[in-house]
Amino acid sequence: MKKTLLMVALAFAMTSHAAIPQPEKMGTTQLKPLAAQTQAAVWASMLLARHHYKATPLDDAMSEKIFDRYFKSLDSEKLFFLQGDIDQFEVVRTKFDDAIRNENISLPFAIYNLYQQRFGERIGYARELLKSKLDFTVEERFQLDREKAAWPKTEDEMRDLWRKRVKNDWLRLKLAGKDDKGIRETLDKRYENYETRVKKVDSEDVFQMFMNAYATSIEPHTNYLGPRSADNFDIAMRLSLEGIGAVLQSRDEYTVIREIVPGSPVGLNGKLKVGDRIVGVAQGDAANFTEVLGWRIDDVVQLIRGAKDSTVRLDVLPADAGPDGKHVVVSLVRKKINMEEQAAKKSIIEIQDGAVKRRVGVIALPTFYLDFEARRRGDKDYKSATRDVAKILGELRKAKVDNVLIDLRNNGGGSLSEAVELTGLFIDKGPVVQQRSADGKVEVESDLVPGLAWDGPVGVLINRGSASASEIFAAALQDYGRGLIIGEPSFGKGTVQTLVNFDRNAQQGEKSRFGELKMTIAQFFRINGGTTQLRGVTPDIKLPVTSDVDNFGESSYDNALPWVAIKPAPFVPAGDLKELVAPLQKRHETRIAKDKDFQYLNEDIAEVKKLRKENSVSLNEAVRRKERDAQEARAKLREERQAASNASVGAAARTKVLAAARVKRTDDGLQADERNLQTELAAEKAAKDAKDVMLNEAAHILSDAVGMVKTDTRLASRLMPYMPAKVVD
């Protein structure tokens, strides 16, 4: 098949027309931009060039950055495009700026259409390979991460990459015990699903990818949100939606119920269960059903969501029915659904220290959520992270805990005002964070409410996934000497974003939706004058670093803003905990040196770093079996030691723990949607219920701190000289 791309002149409304390459044989669906997207691109370009914190003109230099980032976003692993494909588009490398200004953005769609064609070709070749006999006796290796690799230069080079990829997929299933027939069926279905998902990509997806290539070329945290993404972002912030209360998932072209929210319309109805398949959706009591078999999951969700107290009917194929089984029609009245899984939650960890038992209250906060619209309307019960945490603090105080630990691991941020108000629960009054806008003006965000919701000892647990609002909160408590920061250095995001809703620019009666721009408008600084930008928050007590710091975190971005400092804000520290740090770190290190769980954790971290460095695996079956057997032997020995060391657990419970661990350690070669749903849910529950080594050690550290302070009143007066103010409920 001839692979040369034809250079065809497209009619771009530019100052000079550009020759744009088109593939000689296009896919079945040619995606094109919508008028609303063209307008949104123009509005975004004006905002980004004039009002961004790092205002950057849309010119040829920016166009080149968009070019590189767009191709990377489409094919980051260099598995679809050839170098020749990239070279063919070099003629338009500097034309993206003209395309946006002249309101003709066909160019990124032409590139995507070629990507879709190449995707189909690669998957087609992979499926053909499944019919051949693969040789697992030769010694060759499969590269795991190709992000920094070069684009393949020839079709033969590309085919060799895919041959090795298919061999690795096959070998994983073979090592898991599948026979050739089962492997061939599993992989053929998997590759078919890959292609099906790509065919479901629509113009909104392509436009969002292109606009994000533009936005993130300026700075990493500026993004364009298409209408669907904007809706989901809003739901995530307010932790509520209007619907039926079922978590859905795509499996084999079906929309499957994965989880049912207790107390929701689905939960109260009682007719639906996990695993049931939704094949049709109808609005109201009389409308005809719309068949949704093969639909994108977000499109099905849009049909099911709707106004509170409205009716939706579902055509359902029960979980235990065959493809031709009897359908069930279920009618549900939509209600407001609260997403409690993402809300603040409490637990209590008891620590035995000699003859003394201490209780550490833990508050896990996944995000700094706030229902902006409900608060604006004056709703008295609007959802807020601070309000939920304040309530929990009251409950923990009544439970007589000795210390409170705020768990912010993997909390990527949220509302800035919530970070300020949450800090206010632990300090009396004072500045929390400083903001500097693009014009250099510095504003101080302060807690103005007198009193504390918790006047006792505090700790904050962070990791590399703790970012933005999490870093503001942790940094403020550290600067005030109000709490111990425990964990690994945080993400390093020290910028502030605002949302610009383009729908508000639409003309009256306009039905099109234009999406939103999440744009960086300021940089935040600690009250001590430093910033978390790039460097993050450095913990007082350091736990093992589990993340890949080279590829995750602000410092991994090529265009992150630099670290700078400004004048400190005037504030009065609540205490000074530095005197505690060295003895607590020493106790921590002594304790974990004897802790088998921590030894195993460090072994796992070392193994992951080794694999990351090697970045490849053998495709020789004998070599892989030997490696797998050695890993499983180590894991089995570890599990048996862990079970034997827990004398308080009965034999049946130990057997169950070992069985769950065995499932967890075994690579079955499958992807999530290929496993039995019940098995997948059970594995997730087991992982969730597993011992949290980091959390337990953080609780021990805080228990040590309480013990030191309670046994030395003079130390306590030096560390925490603040006067407990009136407690706020």
3-state SS, 44-103, equals HHHHHHHCCCCCCCCCHHHHHHHHHHHHHHHCCCCCCCCHHHHHHCHHHCCCHHHHHHCC
pLDDT of residue 457 exceeding 90, the answer is yes
Predicted pLDDT of residue 688: 85
Q: What percent of the chain has pLDDT over 70?
A: 90
Predicted pLDDT of residue 687: 83
Predicted pLDDT of residue 249: 94
Choice between 728 and 394, residue whose per-residue pLDDT is larger: 394
Residue spans of the domains in the chain: they are 6-218, 240-338, 346-516+524-574, 615-691
Same topology, domains 240-338 and 346-516+524-574? Answer is no
Decide if 437 is catalytic: no
Identify the CATH number of the domain defined by range 240-338: 2.30.42.10
* pTM (predicted TM-score): 0.90
Mean pLDDT of 527-545: 96
Predicted pLDDT of residue 642: 67
Measure the CA angle with vertex 699, ends 694 and 702; round to 5°.
125
Predicted pLDDT of residue 645: 63
Predicted pLDDT of residue 252: 87
pLDDT of residue 720 exceeding 70, the answer is no
Predicted pLDDT of residue 633: 87
Predicted pLDDT of residue 646: 58
pLDDT tens by residue, 282-320 = 999 989 999 999 999 999 999 999 999 999 999 999 999
With H, G, I as helix, E, B as strand and everything else as coil, classify residue 371. coil
Predicted pLDDT of residue 653: 47
Q: Tell me how far apart the alpha carbons of residues 406 and 415 are, in angstroms, rounded to a whole number.
A: 17
Mean pLDDT of 39-62: 97
Instruction: Take residue 18 and report the two structure tokens written for it.
Output: 């550009």
| Token pair 């004897």 in the structure block, residue | 594
Instruction: Take residue 48 and report the two structure tokens written for it.
Output: 């980004």
pLDDT of residue 729 exceeding 50, the answer is no
Residues 363/392, Cβ–Cβ less than 8 Å: yes
- The confidence band for 340, taking pLDDT boundaries of 50, 70 and 90, is confident
Decide if 668 is catalytic: no
Mean pLDDT of 443-449: 96
Predicted pLDDT of residue 657: 47
Name residues whose C-beta falls within 8 Å of residue 692's C-beta, 6 or more positions apart in sequence: none
pLDDT tens by residue, 651-695 = 444 444 444 445 455 789 999 889 889 988 888 888 888 889 999
Q: Which of 240, 468, 470, 490 does the annotation list as catalytic?
A: 468
pLDDT of residue 56 exceeding 60, the answer is yes
Predicted pLDDT of residue 661: 47
Query: Which CATH class for the 346-516+524-574 domain?
Result: alpha beta
Q: Tell me how far apart the alpha carbons of residues 459 and 703 are, in angstroms, rounded to a whole number.
A: 10
Cα separations (Å) of 505 from 39, 40, 43, 171, 508?
10, 10, 9, 54, 9
Predicted pLDDT of residue 18: 38
Predicted pLDDT of residue 16: 31
Where would I find the beta strands (DSSP E) of 301-412?
Answer: 311-317, 328-333, 335-338, 345-353, 356-364, 403-407
Q: Tell me how far apart the alpha carbons of residues 346 and 364 are, in angstroms, rounded to a whole number.
A: 6
Decide if 479 is catalytic: yes
Q: Which of 455, 493, 703, 704 does the annotation list as catalytic?
A: 493
pLDDT of residue 463 exceeding 60, the answer is yes
The torsion angles phi and psi of 239, rounded to 5 degrees, stand at 55, 35
Q: Which of 75, 388, 479, 540 does the annotation list as catalytic?
A: 479
Mean pLDDT of 167-172: 98
Predicted pLDDT of residue 638: 81
pLDDT of residue 647 exceeding 90, the answer is no
Predicted pLDDT of residue 21: 45
